[in-house]
Amino acid sequence: MDSEDERYQEAVDLEFQNLVAAVQREADEAEAVAAVAIPRPFYHRRYIDRDHAGTDRRLMEDYFSENTCYPLEIFRRRFRMSQQLFVHISTCLAQRFKCFNLRYDATGRPGLSTYQKCTVTIRQLAADMFDEYLQMGETTALQTLRQFCRGIKDIFKGEYLRKPTTNDCQRLIDMHGTAHHFPGMLGSIDCMH
């Protein structure tokens, strides 16, 4: 009886070894077919080498250094605000939102500075895309614009983004009257500037 059990066990072991060998052969064949099969295409993201540090340096030389290339009146015309207000807004956004701070990529290269992000946003709002000068991609510029608008709303809504009070209106009327010697023109679009 023992010999019968042993033979039965040997037959089962042999069958199991044959099954394992067959599975291994199928796996090897599948690997060989996969190696010969047409590989999936590998798509690369398009990379445009932008000189963020050089662009920031030029921006600072053109508008924010002691010996600027462009005077303050050109800054005001291009940005629709004073340089002092621009710096105030940029500083507030950088302090409150980390996305407006200078960050570095995985290779250690600097990204976009606070002034670059705020400049491209304000230029977009002034309906003048400034992408080539600031070396910023379209997606980044649009994300920055959204963050800028959210940040301005969060930071300045209590002070500036509210309905004017009676005192505010009277101050504007008085200021306009002294500048243009024609009082009472608060509602006229022609005279608001």
Mean of pLDDT values over 64-68: 87
Q: What is the pLDDT of residues 142-179, one digit of tens each?
A: 888 888 888 888 888 877 777 888 888 888 788 877 77
**Structure token pair of residue 185:** 């023109």
Q: What is the pLDDT of residues 78-111, one digit of tens each?
A: 888 889 999 999 999 899 888 888 888 888 888 8
* CA geometry: angle 43, 49, 55, nearest 5 deg: 150
Delimit the domains of the chain by residue range: 52-162, 164-193
How confident is the model at residue 97, as a pLDDT?
86
Q: Which residues contact 192 (CB under 8 A, 6 or more apart)?
A: 186
| Residues 54 and 96: beta-carbon distance below 8 Å | no
Q: What is the pTM of this model?
A: 0.56
Please choose, from the candidates 43, 44, 50, 42, the residue with its C-alpha nearest in 3D space to the C-alpha of residue 140: 50
- Dihedral angle, C-alpha 4, 7, 12, 15, nearest 10 °: -140
Rg of the chain on CA atoms, in Å: 34
Confidence of residue 132 (pLDDT cuts 50, 70, 90): low
- Cβ neighbour number for residue 102 with a 10 Å cutoff: 16
